[in-house]
Structure 1
Amino acid sequence: MMSNTKQKILDVSLDLFSRKGFSAVSIRDICAQVMIKESSVYYHFKNKQAIFDELLYHFEQVATDMMVRLEQSLSVQSCSMEKPFYQTVCDTFFESYFMDDFCNKIMRLLLIEQFGNSEVQKIYDRWMVAEPLEFQSKVFGTLMEIGIIPKSDSGYLAVKYYAPIYFFAQRWLFSGELSEEQKNSFRNAAYQHIEKFFAEMEVA
């Protein structure tokens, strides 16, 4: 079980990293916020990089779990364009991922650090772009198989569906402090896009 001090170091570090970037934050900055001596940090972590690595490790566990839950919702539910299925997807992806406090801060951190760290860039690309697109492609492929939407290129539909959502997330969820007002702006834009997207599919 993780000690309270270790968890507080992780929480404070993530908050500082997500606002200032990894390089701009020192161990001394972290200690000042946690209100501990530097030696106490080194009892739990070898160095600042070790804190960063543990945060990323935990994030990848959370993100992997999210994708597993999405895959399960796709396989166990009757796949249709009715609200319950897509509500499950959106609640999981929007509410429990993009707008989750921990995940949101990690993605802000990844967004900052990707420009100077190729490994971080790969992590950012995987969890912000590649994994969501792959899942959405599977969803559209399944919808085509059961005749809910017309036959088309599922990969292209995934991009067409996800690109505005990614844009709305960048505009409202990953710029400035995350507030309820920003969350609601994202929700309104994202759900309007989803409704129009499927309405156009029905017309086609």
Structure 2
Amino acid sequence: MKNIADKVGIKDSSLYKHFSSKKEIFDTIVQEMSVRMEEMSRAFGLPDEKNLAEAAMLYGRITIDQLLGLSRQIFLFYLKDEFASRFRRMLAIEQYRNREIYEVYRGIFMNAAITYQTALFGEMIQRGIFNGHDPEAMAVNFYAPIFFLLNKYDQEPQKEAEALQALERQIREFARIYQGTGK
């Protein structure tokens, strides 16, 4: 339990007063992160993931600069938010020791992102917003560089500007390829 407390930045004695097991602590942390991700989505004005048509239209109307701003906000949330970054690091470290943690890490930071973006990009292709034929490949092409940058700059706070420049290049290149912006 001390390892869990250390990883989330609280005292282990606090854990023993409120939770009966590591599993209960872990489940509570995962639930809290889920709540925080939903709050972040609302705060940044992200569309409801359940309405793909609405989301596709919203993303189809935003400018590249608006997309860059939104991408920066989300990237910095996962990179710098104390709870979110510690949560991600905890899962990344512990996934090799515990299959359940691996499944949660993979579910949140890989499967959920790719599944949603695949569906969204498919809708955007159907509506003529994106050029492309394989929405899953597009989702990987969008998400993988961002996930890579998040991990690359995770322990490099002094390189935030560099990270944001790299993020911008990735977003612009994705838009150039799939929206035909040519810029």
TM-score, normalised with respect to structure 1 = 0.68
Q: Does 1:183 align with 2:163?
A: no
Structure 1 letter corresponding to 2:48? Q
Q: Select which of 19, 29, 35 maps to 1:61.
A: 35
Aligned to 2:74: 93
Aligned to 1:78: 58
Unaligned runs of 5+ in 2: none
CA–CA separation in structure 2 for the residues paired with 1:41 and 1:159: 38
Q: CA offset at residue 96 of structure 1?
A: 3.0
Q: Per-residue displacement from partner, 1:158-186 (whole Å, max 9, x unpaired)?
A: 1111111111111112xx3x62x243332
Aligned to 1:197: 174
CA–CA separation in structure 1 for the residues paired with 2:147 and 2:30: 21
CA–CA separation in structure 1 for the residues paired with 2:37 and 2:181: 35
CA–CA separation in structure 2 for the residues paired with 1:134 and 1:41: 34
Q: CA offset at residue 82 of structure 1?
A: 1.8
| 1:34-183 aligned within 5 A | 38=13, 42-47=16-21, 50-64=24-38, 66=40, 70-72=46-48, 75=54, 78-80=58-60, 82-83=63-64, 86-87=67-68, 89-91=70-72, 93-173=74-154, 176=155, 179=157, 181-183=158-160
CA–CA separation in structure 2 for the residues paired with 1:161 and 1:170: 15
- SS of 1:79's partner is helix
Q: Per-residue displacement from partner, 1:118-176 (whole Å, max 9, x unpaired)?
A: 11001100111111112222332232122122241101111111111111111112xx3
Name the Cα RMSD after superposition. Answer: 3.2
> Which one has a bigger Cα radius of gyration?
1
1:63 and 1:109, CA in 2 relative to 1: closer, same or farther beyond 3 A?
Answer: same
1:82 and 1:147, CA in 2 relative to 1: closer, same or farther beyond 3 A?
Answer: same
Q: May I ask how many residue pairs the two structures share in their alignment?
A: 172
What is the identity percentage for the equivalent residue pairs of Structure 1 and Structure 2? 23
CA–CA separation in structure 2 for the residues paired with 1:102 and 1:116: 21
Aligned to 1:4: none
Q: CA offset at residue 62 of structure 1?
A: 2.4
1:56 and 1:148, CA in 2 relative to 1: closer, same or farther beyond 3 A?
Answer: closer
Aligned to 1:3: none
TM-score, normalised with respect to structure 2 = 0.74
Unaligned runs of 5+ in 1: 1-11, 20-28, 32-37
CA contact 1:18–1:108 (8 Å) conserved in 2 = no
Structure 2 letter corresponding to 1:117? N
Structure 2 letter corresponding to 1:162? Y
1:171 and 1:91, CA in 2 relative to 1: closer, same or farther beyond 3 A?
Answer: closer
- SS of 2:129's partner is coil
CA–CA separation in structure 2 for the residues paired with 1:134 and 1:169: 19
